[in-house]
Amino acid sequence: MTKAELGRIAGGAPRAVENALAELAAAYEGTGLRLQRSGEEWQIVTAPQHAPQVAAYLGADRLRLSAASLETLSVVAYRQPVTRAEVEAIRGVNCDQTIYTLASRRLIEERGRKESPGRPILYGTTWEFLECFGLQSLDDLPRALSPEGALVLEGAESTPSKLG
């Protein structure tokens, strides 16, 4: 549900809705539920620490991804919106198959087209992605651990534009 919808139904200003959402998130702290945000969409989901029990109840299979799929997914997650060519430039291999796999599993989705020659499709992660990885929002994505990783990041950030 989007913030705008919530505002319309509850009859509150965006600011009020935001406060209410923050209150709700705080109220869920330590319970079996929590709020998850994907862009403008808000959703109530079960808390990750209870995943084993909920999965057992739902009979849900654990998601498994190959190393190649995980790499592609991490590029899309950290760089979104991103085109297939940009992902391929970073990984150095063809990513057709992995992008298809990730999209069919609803972990990534199309986000319109890039205004560049050929108008390539842009990809971004879905709220299913957040769910599968137990993230409350994209701000929750794990950061690179190594200190030089952080240092490198600034230099590396500009490469895709050169390559793409």
Partner 1 sequence: MESQAPRVSVEGFDGPLDLLLELVEEKKLDIITVRLGDLADAYLVRVRAMPQLPADEVSAFLALASRLVLLKARSLLPSLEPLPEEQGESEEELRARLLEYAIVRERAGQLGARLRAGERAFHREGGTVDLPPRGGEVDALASAWSRVLALATRERDEDIVAPGERYSVEQRTLEIEALVAAQERVSFATLLGDAPTVGFAVVTFIALLDLYRRGVIDLAQDELFADIVITRRDARSAQT
Summarize as ranges the residues that interact with partner 1 (CB under 8 A). Answer: 34, 36, 43-49, 51-52, 54-55, 58, 60-71, 73-75, 77-78, 89-94, 97-98, 101, 130-134, 141-142, 144-146, 148-149, 152-153, 155-156, 159, 162-163
Dist CA 134 CA 22 (whole Å): 19
List the Cα angle 108/139/90 in 5-degree steps.
50
**What's the closest the beta carbon of residue 117 comes to partner 1, in angstroms?**
20
Q: What's 144-163 look like in SS3?
A: CCCHHHHHHHHHHHCHHHHH
**What's the closest the beta carbon of residue 115 comes to partner 1, in angstroms?**
24
Give CA separation, 9 vs 4, 71, 110, 147, in Å: 9, 40, 29, 46
Nearer to partner 1, 13 or 58 (CB): 58
**What's the closest the beta carbon of residue 83 comes to partner 1, in angstroms?**
16
**What's the closest the beta carbon of residue 15 comes to partner 1, in angstroms?**
26
Nearer to partner 1, 10 or 152 (CB): 152
Q: Note the Cα 159 to chain centre separation in Å.
A: 22
Nearer to partner 1, 97 or 116 (CB): 97
Nearer to partner 1, 4 or 51 (CB): 51
CB-CB neighbours of 128 under 10 Å: 15
